[in-house]
A and B are shown apart, each in its own frame.
Chain A
Amino acid sequence: MSHSTKKQTPSIRFWPALHKSDSIGVFFIVVLICLVMSFITPEFNTFVNINVLARSVSVMAIVALSQMVIIGTGGMNLSVGAIGGLVCMTSGSLMAKMNVPVAAAVTAGLLVGALCGLVNGWLINRVHHFTNRINVTSFLVTLATASLFTGVNLGMTRAVPIYGIPDSFVNIGRITIGGISLLLFLIIPIVLAVAFVLHKTGIGRQFLAVGGNLHAAKLSGISIPRVMILSNIFSAVLAGIAAIIFLTRLGSAQPSVGSEWLLFSFAAPLIGGTRLDGGQVNVFGTVMGALLLALVANSMVHLQVSVYWVTFVNGLIILGAVGLERFRTMGSENIKGV
């Protein structure tokens, strides 16, 4: 805005002003909740509670990033949870039942995740028809593959949880540094890596270019099929990493892992200023969004609100977040796009 005032003849804006990334606003809300909660309930500020929070945030943030990558390309991934579940069970059973070394089991699990992403990307390219938009295609495909992957998961494991995860692996989740769970520190390099890929590498920029304007991206020579495949693999691997972290946290592999990831995977990026239409992501904001959701859930427990209402509030938060964005961009739409 400041830049237009200095010009002599301000003119009609072509794009409705996309709102500025508002992760700072989310950050302040997060701080506010923390302050209020520590006054109201003494247990809130204890190491125990902080670690409870840290653990859930670490998983949620990475799941949210996994979804954010795909939203950035202008699509959606309904199979994040299914992929997470499959990876969790694969790594879990390799470690616990076949005595595969931890590192190898984790790698194998992530490879399975990558394969799921490849399947998603490949199918999107196959099913896509130019009369459809990319988000419709990705919705349909991942709706089906979510069922496919969950089916494979349940079929292989017969829905039986796997116990006896090696201590060497579970202990990772118990390590604390200065009283704070290692897991929280573990996600820092992952968050940085996602930010690096999306902002600093050619392929990451291609993801966002496709999300921002598919037509322009195509004209510039960006290969849409390649972007679809690689972005889906990237997203699936992130979902896999989230599942592995969940595994260390839980100490057992549950087939139901991931079944409740869908809502917050969309909520956290949207709260953090990622555009649903694609083309713009906010990594820090997404992490803040995940933190906010985790905090609200945690606070409600402390305030002795029934756990059943947490879902309800989550729904309201996502509507509020998207509604706010909508409200912010409303003013600029009175000017007719040329």
Chain B
Amino acid sequence: MGSHPMDQQSNMALTLSNISKAYPGVKALDNVSLNMEKGKVHALIGENGAGKSTLIKIISGVIGYDNGTMTVNNTPVTFTGPRQAFRCGINVVHQERNVVPTFSVGENILLEKIAGNSFGMVNKDQMYEQAREFIDMVGLQAPPEQKVADLSAAEIQLIEIAKALSSKAHILLLDEPTSSLSFHEANSLLKTIRRLRDQGVSFLYVSHKLEEVFDIADTVTVLRDGKNVGSALPIEKLDRNRLVSLMVGRTENGKALPARVLNNKNEVLAVQNIKSRLSRSSNSFVLHKGEILGWYGLVGAGRTELARVLMGYDPALNGDIFINGKKARITSVSQAMTRWKIGYLSESRKEEGLFLTSSIILNVSASVWKSLGNAFGLLKNRDEKQLAEKYTRRLKIKTPGISQIVNALSGGNQQKVSFAKTLATEPDILIVDEPTVGVDVNTKHQIHELIVELSQKGVSIIVISSDLTEVVHLTDRILAFRDGKICADLKNSKDYGAMSRQVMEKCLKKGGTADRALEKNRLPN
């Protein structure tokens, strides 16, 4: 830190020094420090999986840490739960909304008050009067009597901030606060933050959007792979390029595979202008035989939505899909799997991928029961076991046995089981969505090797990933996504420095056509 530690310290709203946190198999945070000055906006940035959410969870008392120290207003603290962090004046405005949808704006803002008042009366007029103060403070354009269920995501966000202020919070953690807001809404939120900052509230602002960071932040902390690569850097001394290179950096683990020249130019999959119920714009692209195609974009850029169209989960509303030159109408998951030989690995293995309370056997065979069964629909346990054995060996799943309940496996091995479930259908086109999120380095390597091996055998693979290193190291070609639209189709030179900057630029670009299209798209809602 600076040469006047005493001066700085007295100004600190929140400090974290040398915080480390390990999960089984993964070191999520490694000696991370963070120093937030009072009345300033401190941005926390980093790629997905850099450890930001772990850090937020530690600050808000949701999880503990292994070592390091933490102070609030220069007093050392240890939190055993979120309520304690709350009492210290730390409040998180989460992406998942913590409001009561059936209550009014005023009541939500003063929910703390209702909680503390079990046996008294609630004077709504008085309450709304009090709430109005906070409503004005955050610049919310809704009366306190309004029901929250009728409000937009942006307004709910403001309610959460107002709620935090009403409970005398002086340190606010904003986690991707503008991710679900329109351009105008985001702007007015930033205005509010600036105003509150000037009134002495300290903000920790977590965002992917660099424009916003430059717009709002006073200082920046950058995380990469769970480590500080920049701590409390003053924003004046940074420029966009510097920040991008700090974020993406070059990581020690994982080497880029040599760039490949694909001889086979067969278009296995050609997609023209497809759009679904959930996707915001229509998209076109092609996939070649044996190719590894990377889909990069920030979270919520519309990649998963597009994948689900191909998977038959959310059938296309218009546009055409050609598979091996034949026009394909994909109407259901089972049809996509059996007829078109498309396999999909879901991004959230716990919610959508695995049967957590069941055995490896059941999980691996789940997608192929129909083909395992005989004419009467009878299954032989032996067939299932053989299948599970095969994939356990092939994917090197570490387990005491194939009857093991999946929930008891480590994250990496769970992901391998999820992989096995997808591979069991022997797909020609494989879409893997965030294949290495939450897995240890070792497993990550193995999964990458597996993907390459499959592509060499002729499987065409789409890798959806928010991990830029992974995308650049692994793929032959990269599609960059931004606001639901494919905004660039780049041949991957595997030169990390050049590629990462190129891709990042495309994904972060503001005010482009995509942005305007987005604004237009939102109007009918």
Q: Taking beta carbons and an 8 Å cutoff, which residues of A are in contact with B?
A: 1, 3-4, 7-15, 17-18, 200-206, 208-209, 211-213, 215-217, 219-223, 226, 275, 279-280, 334-336, 338
Q: Would A201 and B121 be within 8 Å (CB), given that A12-B522, A275-B102 are in contact? A: yes
Query: Complex Cα distance A60/B328, Å?
Result: 58
Query: Complex Cα distance A4/B120, Å?
Result: 35
Contact at A215–B146, with CB atoms within 8 Å?
Answer: no
B152 to chain A: which residues have CB within 8 Å? 4, 10-14
Q: List 23 A-B contacts (CB under 8 A).
A: A3-B142, A3-B150, A7-B141, A8-B184, A10-B152, A11-B181, A12-B522, A12-B525, A13-B153, A14-B153, A15-B149, A18-B102, A202-B114, A202-B118, A202-B119, A202-B120, A205-B107, A205-B114, A209-B114, A212-B101, A216-B100, A221-B115, A338-B180
A226 to chain B: which residues have CB within 8 Å? 118
- CB interface residues, B 58-106, toward A, < 8 Å: 82-83, 86, 95, 97-103
A280 to chain B: which residues have CB within 8 Å? 102
Name the residue of chain B whose CB is nearest to the CB of A196: B121
Which one of A4, A13, A206 contacts B115 once the chains associate, using CB atoms below 8 Å?
Answer: A206
Of all A-B residue pairs in the complex, the 10 with the closest CB atoms, nearest first, are A202-B117, A212-B100, A279-B102, A338-B180, A280-B102, A221-B115, A216-B98, A212-B102, A220-B111, A11-B152
Q: Would A334 and B277 be within 8 Å (CB), given that A11-B181, A220-B111 are in contact? A: yes
B95 to chain A: which residues have CB within 8 Å? 338
Contact at B97–A9, with CB atoms within 8 Å?
Answer: no
Q: Would A203 and B522 be within 8 Å (CB), given that A222-B114, A334-B277 are in contact? A: no
Query: Complex Cα distance A94/B336, Å?
Result: 71
Contact at B150–A206, with CB atoms within 8 Å?
Answer: no
Q: Would A213 and B119 be within 8 Å (CB), given that A206-B114, A222-B114 are in contact? A: no
Name the residue of chain B whose CB is nearest to the CB of A336: B278
B118 to chain A: which residues have CB within 8 Å? 202-203, 206, 223, 226
Contact at B121–A202, with CB atoms within 8 Å?
Answer: yes
Q: Would A9 and B185 be within 8 Å (CB), given that A15-B148, A202-B122, A217-B100 are in contact? A: yes
Contact at A219–B122, with CB atoms within 8 Å?
Answer: no
- CB interface residues, B 163-185, toward A, < 8 Å: 179-185
Name the residue of chain A whose CB is nearest to the CB of B146: A3
In the complex, the number of residue pairs spanning A and B with C-beta atoms less than 8 Å apart equals 132
Query: Complex Cα distance A9/B147, Å?
Result: 19
- CB interface residues, B 144-164, toward A, < 8 Å: 146-154, 156
Tell whether B523 is near chain A: CB-to-CB under 8 Å: yes
Query: Complex Cα distance A304/B424, Å?
Result: 64
Name the residue of chain A whose CB is nearest to the CB of B116: A221
Query: Complex Cα distance A22/B179, Å?
Result: 35
A4 to chain B: which residues have CB within 8 Å? 150, 152
- Looking at the assembled complex, report how far the CB atom of B448 sits from the nearest CB atom of chain A, in whole angstroms: 31
Name the residue of chain A whose CB is nearest to the CB of B107: A205
Which one of A18, A206, A213 contacts B99 once the chains associate, using CB atoms below 8 Å?
Answer: A213
Query: Complex Cα distance A215/B149, Å?
Result: 16
- Looking at the assembled complex, report how far the CB atom of A148 sits from the nearest CB atom of chain B, in whole angstroms: 28
Query: Complex Cα distance A7/B151, Å?
Result: 12
Query: Complex Cα distance A14/B122, Å?
Result: 27
B150 to chain A: which residues have CB within 8 Å? 1, 3-4, 13, 17
Name the residue of chain B whose CB is nearest to the CB of A201: B121
- CB interface residues, B 489-525, toward A, < 8 Å: 519, 522-523, 525
Tell whether B112 is near chain A: CB-to-CB under 8 Å: yes
Mark B237-273 against chain A: 1 for CB-CB distance below 8 A, else 0. 0000000000000000000000000000000000000
B154 to chain A: which residues have CB within 8 Å? 11
Contact at B151–A14, with CB atoms within 8 Å?
Answer: yes
Which one of B83, B99, B523 contacts A221 once the chains associate, using CB atoms below 8 Å?
Answer: B83
A335 to chain B: which residues have CB within 8 Å? 525
A208 to chain B: which residues have CB within 8 Å? 100, 102-103
Name the residue of chain A whose CB is nearest to the CB of B524: A10
Contact at A9–B522, with CB atoms within 8 Å?
Answer: yes
Query: Complex Cα distance A55/B121, Å?
Result: 32
Query: Complex Cα distance A13/B118, Å?
Result: 32
Query: Complex Cα distance A217/B163, Å?
Result: 13
